[in-house]
Structure 1
Amino acid sequence: MSSSHQPRSLTRVAVDAQTLADLYAAPTALRVVNVWDAVSARVVSQLPGTRAIATAGHGIAASHGYADGEQIPLDTMIAAIARIASATDLPVSADLDGGFGDAGETVRRAIGAGASGANIEDQMRPLDESVAVMRAAMAAGEREGVSFVLNARTDALVKGGDRPREIAIADAIERGRAYLDVGATCVFVPGVLDADDTRALVDGIGERKISVIGLPGALTAAEYEALGVARVSYGPMPQNVALTALKRLGESLLADGVIPADTEALNNF
C-alpha cells in the first residue's frame, strides 16, 4: 500500500493500463467494489480479492454534495480521482460520466490524476456522436502514451424508454460493437440483466467484452462470469450500504446505544 501519496508517472499509468487490460481479458471476471474517496479506496485495496480500483462517479459527487450527472465540477472530480489513486497501488479505473463535454481533455486529465482506464457514458446520444466521444477518449490516451482501458457505457437499456426489451438489447449490441471498433476494451451495459439478456449481449458483442452492474435483483458475480462477462461493478451501491450502516449506527447511538465492540480502526492512514 502506497503511503507516499505521490502522483503516478505516465510510465506507471501505462503499466497499470496493461495490467487492467489483462484483468478484463482474463477468464475470471474482474470484480470491483466501487469507491468514492481515499479512505474507501484504502479499505477496499486491502481486501485480498481486490485486483483493481474503480471509482463511482455518483458516489464522488454525493460525497461533495452534488447530484449525479456531471453536476460536480470537473476540477473537483479530477482531484478526487487523484486522491483515490494516491491511496492505492492498484490500477484505477475512473467513472468520468459522459466526458464532461470534452472526453479527450477529461481523459487526459484523468490520466494525469493516475487513472489508467475509465467508464464513459454514451447518454443515448446519436450513434455517430457517441462513437466520436469514445474515439476522442482513446485518442487522448494515445497522445499520452497510455493504452487507455475504456469501459464504454451504453445507456441503451436504462435510458431506452419504453422500447421492447429485444430492441433495446439490439441497440446496445450495435453501440457496443461500434465502441469496440474505435478501441474500447469493454462495453458497460448497466441495468438488471437476467441470464437471457446477458447471454444475448455476450453473443452479440463478445466473450469477455461485457461489463455489468450488480444491483439488487441481478445475478451473482459468479453467474455473470459463467456467462462470459468481463467485469462486475457495483456503482453507488457500496456507498449506499456504508451510509445505511452509518444511519443505523446513528439511530442506535441516539437511542443510548454504544459503539459495537468489533468496530475496526479502518480510517487510519
Structure 2
Amino acid sequence: MTQADRASQFAALHVKGRPLILYNIWDAGSARSAAKAGSKAIATGSWSMAAAHGFDDGEAIPLDFIETIVGRIASSVALPLTVDFEGGYAKDPDGVAKNAARIIEAGAVGLNFEDRIVGAGALYAIADQVLRIKAIRSAADRLGIAVFINARTDLFLLEADKTRHSGLIDAAIERAQAYQQAGCNGFFIPGLLDESGIAAICAASTLPVNVMMMGGAPDRETLIRLGVSRISYGPGPYLAAQARFVEQCAASLAGA
C-alpha cells in the first residue's frame, strides 16, 4: 500500500456512529504494540513523544528528531500514521509548509495542527490560522498526498473554568467553519467535556469531530450518540504505561 493509499484509508475511518479510536503512541515500539492490539491507524501524541525522549511539550523536542522518530514509526508499521504537529514549528505560513512537508515525507498521512501560539496563552487570529492551514494543504498537494489535517482549537484548554465552556461554543464553530474552508479535514476540540457543547459542534459542522478522552470526558457510547467521529487518548496511554513500569520496577527492587 502506498502512502497515498494510506491517506485515503485514514480519511475513510472517520465515521459518525463508528468513530476511529486512536490510542496515542510515542515511538516505533509503542506503534508496533498498538498495531498488534488491532489499531486501525497509528497516532502520535506530542506530550508523550516529548516526555519519552526527555523533553517538555510545546515544541521543545527538535523538529529534526521528530522527523527521525516519525520515519522510524512509518517504517515499523503498515498502518496509516497521523502525527501531532503541534503549532507547525513556525509562525509564518511558509515555515509551516516547509516543516509539514518534512513530516509528510517521513511517512505521515495525517497532521494534528493547533491554533495555540506555542509558548503563549493565546490563540492565533482566525485569519492567521487560516493562512497556516492553507500552507499545509498546499505542501501536501505538492507532494501528492491527501493529508488529513486535523485542525485543533485550544479554546477550551486555555479556559480552565469549565463552567465557561458553553460560552465558547459559537467561537469554536466559527473556527471550525473557517478552518474547513482553508482545507482542513477534521476538527479537534481537546478540553471540551460538556455533552451539550460537543453535540452542538458536531451538529453545526460537517467536519469529523475529534474528542480527547481525559478526566470527566463522556464515555465512548455517549460520544458516539453525540456525533463524534474520532476519539483519541492524548498522553493517557504513556502515563499509564509509565505508572505500570514504576509499579513493576518497584516490586522487582523490593527487598534488594
Structure 1 length normalisation: TM-score?
0.87
- For 1:224, the aligned partner's letter is L
Gaps of 5+ in 2: 117-122
For 1:6, the equivalent position in structure 2 comes to none
1:117 aligns with 2:110: yes
For 1:242, the equivalent position in structure 2 comes to 241
1:128 aligns with 2:127: yes
For 1:20, the equivalent position in structure 2 comes to 10
1:206-217 aligned at under 5 Å gives the runs: 206=206, 209-217=208-216
Tell me, yes or no, if the aligned pair for 1:156 and 1:169 is still in contact at 8 Å.
no
**Separation in structure 1 between the aligned mates of residue 227 and residue 143 of structure 2, nearest angstrom:** 31
Q: Which has the higher helix share?
A: 2
1:97-176 aligned at under 5 Å gives the runs: 97-101=86-90, 102-123=95-116, 124-160=123-159, 164-176=164-176
> Equivalent of 1:89, from 78, 95, 98?
78
Tell me, yes or no, if the aligned pair for 1:192 and 1:215 is still in contact at 8 Å.
no
* 1:209 to partner: Cα distance: 1.7
Deviates more, 1:214-223 or 1:73-82: 214-223
- For 1:202, the aligned partner's letter is C
* 1:37 to partner: Cα distance: 0.5
Deviates more, 1:28-37 or 1:155-164: 155-164
For 1:229, the equivalent position in structure 2 comes to 228
The Cα offsets for residues 103-142 of structure 1, whole Å up to 9 and x where unpaired, read as 2112211111110011010101111111111111111110
For 2:49, the equivalent position in structure 1 comes to 60
For 2:33, the equivalent position in structure 1 comes to 43
**Separation in structure 1 between the aligned mates of residue 106 and residue 70 of structure 2, nearest angstrom:** 6
The Cα offsets for residues 76-115 of structure 1, whole Å up to 9 and x where unpaired, read as 0111111111111100000001100032112211111110
**Separation in structure 2 between the aligned mates of residue 139 and residue 160 of structure 1, nearest angstrom:** 32
For 2:190, the equivalent position in structure 1 comes to 190
Query: How much is the aligned-residue C-alpha RMSD, in angstroms?
Result: 1.7
* 1:26 to partner: Cα distance: 5.9
Deviates more, 1:219-228 or 1:81-90: 219-228
Tell me, yes or no, if the aligned pair for 2:165 and 2:192 is still in contact at 8 Å.
no
**Separation in structure 1 between the aligned mates of residue 125 and residue 112 of structure 2, nearest angstrom:** 18
Aligned with 1:111: secondary structure?
Answer: helix
Percentage of matched positions with identical amino acids: 35
Tell me, yes or no, if the aligned pair for 2:16 and 2:208 is still in contact at 8 Å.
no
Structure 2 length normalisation: TM-score?
0.91
Tell me, yes or no, if the aligned pair for 2:110 and 2:150 is still in contact at 8 Å.
yes
**Separation in structure 1 between the aligned mates of residue 100 and residue 16 of structure 2, nearest angstrom:** 25
Tell me, yes or no, if the aligned pair for 1:210 and 1:229 is still in contact at 8 Å.
yes
Aligned with 1:157: secondary structure?
Answer: helix
Aligned with 1:115: secondary structure?
Answer: coil
The Cα offsets for residues 213-260 of structure 1, whole Å up to 9 and x where unpaired, read as 011221122321221111000111100000000111122122149xxx
- For 1:114, the aligned partner's letter is G
**Separation in structure 1 between the aligned mates of residue 172 and residue 126 of structure 2, nearest angstrom:** 11
